[in-house]
Amino acid sequence: MRRFFRVLAHEWRCLWLSPASYVAGVLFLLLLGLLYWAILRGFTLLPQEQTPATQFFRLFWIPVFFVVPLLTMRGFAEERRTGMLERTLTTTVRPVQLVLAKFGAVYGFYLLLWAATLLFPWIAVQGTSLEAGRRLLYDLPSLWGGLLFVAVSGLLFLSLGLFCSSLSRSQLVSAILSFTGLFLVIAGSRLLLEIPRVTPDAPGGFEGPVRYLQVFEHLLDFSAGIVDTRPFLFYLSGTVLFLFLTTVAVARRL
Amino acid sequence: MKRGREDFRRLNRLRLGNTLLQVLLALLLLGALNYLGSRYYERWDWTEDRRFSLSPETRARLAQLAEPVEILVVLPSGGEGAPTERLLADLRRLLGNFRRVAREEGNPNLSVEFIDLYKDRRRAREVLGRHGVSTPESILVVSGSRLRQIPPHTLYETEAGRIRAFRGEAAFLTALLEVTRPEDEVLYFLSGHGEYGLESVDPVEGLSRLSTFLRTRGFAVESLSLGGRAAVPEDAGALFLVGPLTRLPPRELRLLREYLEARDGSLLTFLRPEGETGLSPLFADWGIRVGEGTVIDRSPGARTVAGDLLVRAYGAHPATRSLDELGLTVLLGLSRPVEADPQLAADPGTLKVEELLFSSGRSWAERDRRPGVPLRFEEGVDRVGPVPLAAAARRQSENRFRIDLDASLGGRLAVFGDAGFLANERLEAVGNRLLVLGLLDWALERSEELNVPAKPVRSYLVVLSDEELRRLLPMLALPASLLTMAGIVVALVRR
């Protein structure tokens, strides 16, 4: 266990020393700051039925598409290219420990980035005359629900990115694979709904399982203040699967 | 050397096979776990007002559902921005809750199916055809041969064109109760006191159109004379008393009281503009007063060429809700004022009395209506408008809002100052027909007056000046600026 924490600390340090992390972080916060502003502007023009936090987290997919590949592409691809991976694996560190340490480091960074977005409502209240709108901007069920969603879904997205990174020696190829994978998970499940049901005579057809995969619907529930065990199971089991596949891919380098 | 290479290849293949097997087993395990997880799950509503949870009454009713009920939602999906997007999202959430609660309560009798009208045309055609429904966009609640259709527009409460609340829970619960009701109830039209004839085709005092209208909508309709009867029949869903000319004998009045009070029955009374029926004490016990005089309305557009009174003002009552929302007009003949006065009742605390229809602000109740005398409002003598034209009372037993489903729900009494609006000559008016259906829904407890409140739809507005908005934009870049500075410091230190 001590070995795992040592590797985790190393990966965490590497992440903070890497320029790619800062580029990803700054782009992420700039973009989300702009989106938050646009959302507030929308609230000044017309009454809206969802809180600013709900609308904000509904746009989670925009930063996810670039931040996850940027954070994870380096993971194993760079080490494979430089031969560091093989060297690390000849030490006492086990593949599963290495995978979990890398995953833990990027996940921590990802959570920190999202946690920084909590500053937006605070800045909006402090910097304007929105004192009266404090309750709306700090609407706890939608704020915590949205954060819980990005925290839980982030597990799956980052594990998928890390798996893609373990498949190639090129960071660029890893990033493209990761982007494609994320697109399939986030948007692909929605496209499945467009297909007419295979067995129209059976009540429900295959709509039930497809709806189970709907990432956007999970978000709507979370940000509305509804917590359901199904998305948890979906994201956690997906994470376990991709971390397992990553471990298998890394172990085959031995 | 060659053998060593062979062994190495075999070992490699073995390792690959072993890896593939592990991956396959992991996939199977996680697939099975997800399958089970999608069937057995928990859901918590963290909102302050439990906006997304079902009311205790709905939960109790779903647990007791004794017959199989199918809910079929046939609507086009159309994706984001489509007109039905919001409705579908609300229905999925609500009916998902219905399904989950029924399953939690171990009741397998409820099934829900969403059918996309465009993508799944074959299934939609088959379902609509099987139930003989001609409206393509339909929400059906079916149990055996009984069908209840829920018009999509009735699922929302609107105010000035904006959605204020979603009342889907009450609408579906009402439909579920209706299709699982043990047996059909009969609507009895009382006779023997000069009432309008149920099968009469007379345009002024005949109800043949009403009886056909009700029968084609699945109601059993019969005429009933209380003379010689010991009680109102057991299968009475509601009693209609339309235009009695003479006083009701005390014995019959007692039977009506028993029916209303001991059996929680429903009595719908429609009076002639003049004449004494002896019903006033009964009405008073239910907090309803039939006023003196006849309602005269002189405002422009308040009368038809034939002299009928056009009513466009409604009380907030389930029976008149759809009339109000659709902006429809009810056609009345000469009418007496009928007002709510709960203090007349001995036990006003258990009564809920509401006025249903009103004449316009330029109307009055004329007390002195004699042939040859011009109609004129007399201050201090005549009642000034708007004048209430109908009232409805509902007795609530004390445990009404405790979720004891076997508890009495209380009787219902509606009094209209005019019987003519049910007559053949006026029943063609859409507003009149809708009012009859609304009244029946209420009288037969089909209305949404269950203990299930509508879920309010909130809207939020932020008030910020242009200058404040402009100032806010660079401020929101603060977190990104801090991270940039941290990156520069790290780069400098590393160098």
Chain A partners within 8 Å of B483 (Cβ): 22, 25-26, 29, 116
How far A70 CA lies from chain B's nearest CA (Å)? Answer: 16
pLDDT at position A195: 65
pLDDT recorded at residue B420: 92
Question: What percent of chain B is modeled with pLDDT above 90?
Answer: 28
Determine the pLDDT at residue A117: 93
Rounded CA gap, B28 and B38, in Å? 15
Minimal Cβ distance to A226: which of B15, B52, B478:
B52
pLDDT tens string B41-65: 777 877 766 777 787 767 877 887 8
What digits encode the pLDDT tens for the residues B290-323? Answer: 988 888 888 877 888 777 889 989 998 888 887 8
Q: Which amino acid is at B357?
A: L
The pLDDT of B424-433, averaged and rounded, is 87
Domains of chain B (ranges plus CATH)?
Answer: 56-179 (3.40.30.10), 186-443 (3.40.50)
**Nearest CA distance, A173 vs chain B (angstrom):** 23
- Amino acid type, B166: F
Note the pLDDT tens digit of each residue in B449-492: 455 666 777 777 777 788 888 888 999 999 999 999 999 999 89
Provide the number of CB pairs (under 8 Å) joining chain A to chain B: 173
For residue A162, is pLDDT > 50? yes
Q: In terms of pLDDT, which residue wins out, B2 or B105? A: B105
| Among the listed residues B47, B163, B43, the one whose alpha carbon sits nearest the alpha carbon of residue B98 | B43
The pLDDT mean for chain A works out to 85
* Residue of chain B whose Cα is closest to the Cα of A220: B89
The one-letter amino acid code at A135 reads R
Enter the tokens of residue B359: 């004449």
| Partner-chain residue, chosen from A51, A229, A248, that has the shortest CB–CB distance to B42 | A229
The pLDDT value given to residue B442 = 86
B469 contacts on A by Cβ (under 8 Å):
37, 40-41, 44
Q: Listing from the earlier edge strand, what are the strands of the sheet with B294-297?
A: B294-297, B363-366, B383-384
Helical H segments across B40-84, by residue range: 56-63
- Give the pLDDT band of residue B447 (cuts 50, 70, 90): low
A234/B34 Cβ within 8 A: yes
SS3 category, A203 = coil
User: Which chain B residues are closer than 8 Å to A207 by Cβ?
Assistant: 114
Express each pLDDT in B31-44 by its tens digit.
Answer: 898 888 877 777 78
pLDDT in tens, A95-128: 899 999 999 999 999 999 999 999 999 998 888 7
Mean pLDDT of A149-173: 93
Residue of higher predicted confidence among A130 and B98: B98
Lowest mean pLDDT, pick from A70-74, A168-172, A194-198, B280-284: A194-198
For residues B265 and B279, what is the distance between their CA atoms, to the nearest angstrom?
A: 16
CB-based contact B158:B164 (threshold 8 Å): yes
Task: Note whether A136 and B462 are within 8 A (CB).
Answer: yes
Say whether pLDDT at B155 is over 80: yes
Per-position b or e across A9-19, b if 16+ CB within 10 A of its CB: eebbeebeebe
Give the three-class secondary structure for B234.
coil
Q: Are B411 and B401 in contact (CB under 8 A)?
A: no
Q: What is the pLDDT of residues B325-359, one digit of tens each?
A: 777 889 998 899 999 998 888 777 778 899 999 99
Do residues B62 and B55 touch, judged by C-beta distance below 8 A? no
Inter-chain residue contact A133 with B463, CB threshold 8 Å: yes
- ipTM score of complex: 0.84
CA angle B439, B440, B442 (to 5 degrees): 65
Do B72 and B175 form a contact (C-beta atoms < 8 A)? no
pLDDT band for B130, please (50, 70, 90 cuts).
confident
Nearest residue of A to residue B25, measured between CA atoms: A241
